[in-house]
């Protein structure tokens, strides 16, 4: 027997009203017609044997799990230390982070998607530390205090923008984020997807500026530091339509 719950409390004046009796009796009829939910599902009607086991494939830096209605895809790199992204390797615009990592672990996913939705997050640990040169021309007065606002403003001109791309289309990004040290960025994303081969990857834009003050005092960042990439995780859930 399915578990039944009364739709309304019965009080002395209502126990013989036809509408109240019909409402309660309707629950049993609905169950016979296939209207089952967590409150009236017959006991033992769905057993463990009727659940399909997920199909799991895994390897170095990835785990894929496919289930009847959805699939989970995970790429990661953990505990490997920091990998230097050489300043000489930067390109204008978006830089694919799988290139400095020399592999897709943590920053790229490749799988066959099914028609539906993709929902997930990219997590990336980046470190970028800037330096500057303080000086002055021969015909100008000595430079101001190194703790002046000019130095602070110049050091704050460097930004990073982290984005997630699905088949080369940007589906999530952080926007300009000041990167004066080591930070962890989390980029959520979601997008509809059709059936077919799908690639998701993490990319970044690095904004960098030199600066010279109007009075001849030089604030020049002459040492562009390498980008260090630490731990990274990229995961996706493909919900079938």
DSSP per position, 70-107: EEEEEEEE-SS--EEE-GGG--SS-EETTTTTTS-TTT
CATH code of residue 129: 2.60.120
Torsion of CA 137, 139, 144, 146, to 10 degrees: 20
3-state secondary structure of 233: strand
Report, as ranges of residue numbers, the positions in the chain whose pLDDT lies below 70: 1-46, 49-50, 80, 130-156, 209-224
Position 58 scores a pLDDT of 85
65 and 148 housed in the same domain: yes
Between CA 116 and CA 123, with CA 120 as vertex, the angle to 5 degrees is 160
24 and 133 housed in the same domain: no
pTM of the model: 0.68
21 and 112 housed in the same domain: no
3-state secondary structure of 21: helix
Of 27, 48, 69, the residue that ends a domain is: 48
The residues, any chain, with a CB within 8 Å of residue 165's CB and separated by 6 or more, are 94, 171, 200, 201, 202, 203
Q: How many CA atoms lie within 13 A of 157 on its CB side?
A: 18
Position 196 scores a pLDDT of 93
21 and 75 housed in the same domain: no
DSSP β-ladder status, 159-166 and 196-207: antiparallel
Position 39 scores a pLDDT of 61
User: How many CB atoms neighbour CB 18 within 10 A?
Assistant: 7
Matching residue, tokens 């400095």: 100
129 and 29 housed in the same domain: no
Position 137 scores a pLDDT of 47
138 and 25 housed in the same domain: no
- Type and span of the H or E element at 162: strand 159-166
Position 208 scores a pLDDT of 75
Position 99 scores a pLDDT of 85
Position 37 scores a pLDDT of 62
201 and 179 housed in the same domain: yes
164 and 219 housed in the same domain: yes
39 and 104 housed in the same domain: no
Q: What is the DSSP string of 114-144?
A: -SEEEEEEEEEEEE-----EEEE-TTSPPP-
In whole angstroms, how far apart are CA 105 and each of 56, 99, 100, 125, 168? 17, 11, 11, 13, 18
Position 179 scores a pLDDT of 75
Position 176 scores a pLDDT of 86
44 and 163 housed in the same domain: no
Position 91 scores a pLDDT of 82
Sign of the CA dihedral with 178 first, then 179, 183, and 187 last = positive
Sign of the CA dihedral with 145 first, then 149, 153, and 155 last = positive
94 and 71 housed in the same domain: yes
216 and 112 housed in the same domain: yes
Domain boundaries, position 31: 1-48
> How many structural domains does the chain have?
2
Position 31 scores a pLDDT of 61
């Amino acid at each position: 027997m399915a578990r039944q719950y009364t739709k309304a409390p019965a009080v002395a004046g209502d126990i013989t009203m036809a509408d109240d009796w019909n409402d309660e009796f309707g629950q049993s009829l609905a169950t016979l017609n296939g209207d089952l939910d967590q409150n009236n599902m017959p006991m033992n009607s769905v057993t463990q044997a009727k659940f399909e086991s997920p199909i799991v494939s895994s390897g170095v830096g990835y785990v894929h799990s496919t289930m009847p209605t959805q699939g989970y895809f995970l790429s990661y790199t953990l505990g490997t230390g920091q990998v230097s992204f050489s300043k000489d390797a930067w390109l204008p615009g978006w830089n694919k982070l799988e290139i400095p990592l020399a592999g897709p672990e943590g920053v790229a996913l490749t799988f066959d998607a099914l028609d539906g939705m993709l929902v997930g997050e990219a997590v990336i640990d980046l470190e970028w530390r800037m330096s500057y040169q303080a000086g002055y021309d021969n015909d100008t007065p000595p430079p101001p205090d190194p703790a002046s606002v000019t130095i602070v403003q110049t050091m704050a001109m460097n930004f990073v923008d982290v984005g997630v791309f699905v088949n080369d289309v940007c589906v999530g990004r952080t926007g300009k984020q000041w990167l004066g040290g080591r930070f962890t960025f989390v980029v959520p994303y979601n997008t509809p997807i059709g059936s077919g081969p799908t690639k998701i990857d993490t990319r970044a834009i690095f904004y960098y500026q030199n600066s010279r003050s109007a009075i001849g005092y030089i604030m020049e960042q002459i040492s562009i530091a390498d980008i260090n990439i630490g731990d990274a995780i990229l995961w996706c859930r493909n919900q079938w339509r």
